[in-house]
Each structure stands twice: as C-alpha cells, then as structure tokens.
Amino acid sequence: MKMSASQSSESLDVSIRDFQKLIHRMYFEKDVARGIDGTFLWLMEEIGELATALRTKNDMANLHEEFADVIAWLTTIANVAGVDLCKALQDKYGSGCPGCHRFDCTCPISEKP
C-alpha cells in the first residue's frame, strides 16, 4: 500500500494485514528498540486515554483518535512479537464465536466467549 501526500487527507480503507504492514514500515525499527515491555506501557497509556474519551462521550474526534491509537499500539506489539494479526483473528474468530462456534453468538451474556 502506497499513500502519497495528496491521499493523506482522503478516506483510506485498509485491511488488517495492510495496516500491520503500514505500521511495520513506519515504526518497526523504533518499536524493536523500545521492545515489547516499553511498547506495552504505551498501549496501556492509550487504553487509559480511550477510557477517558469513552466517559467524555461528547468529543467524537477525540474518541476516534483514541480508538485509532489503541489499534496502532496493539499492532506495534504484534509486529515486535512476530504475530500476524490477520492470521490470529482468522484462527480465533474465523469459524464463529470461540465459545459457541456460531456467527450469531448464543453464549450467555455473563460469559466471555
């Protein structure tokens, strides 16, 4: 996936695989130098910021930014750990809910599938 300066303000639909490659291309050297532990701390900070944005509800721009940051930092950790997110998601959810194995989950709401 190549993105020119003129595309940067346009809407861009990317697959999980493409996004992981994009994050790898932009940040991998820095991410490896920081390591999994340091990167995990950044992810936790972003999750805290997302929690705050969810409670603030009236700032959709901030909410969008924080969701994007959490996904980006999770993707960063996957890159450093050598995990193909697309394969991991397909393996776990590609055949339906991991609990009841259906695409329309029938697990009790009190259970984590």
- The tokens for 9 are 């303000």
Around 33, how many Cα atoms within 13 Å sit in the side-chain half-sphere?
Answer: 4
Higher pLDDT, 96 or 12: 96
Write the pLDDT tens digit of every residue in 27-86.
Answer: 999 999 999 999 999 999 999 999 999 998 789 999 999 999 999 999 999 999 999 999
Task: State whether CATH 3.40.50.1980 applies to domain 14-82.
Answer: no
User: pTM (2 decimals)?
Assistant: 0.82
CB 70 within 8 Å of CB 46: yes
CA dist 7 and 74 (Å) reads: 24
What residue spans define the domains of the chain? 14-82
pLDDT at residue 23, as a whole number:
97
- Show the tokens assigned to 29: 């050297």
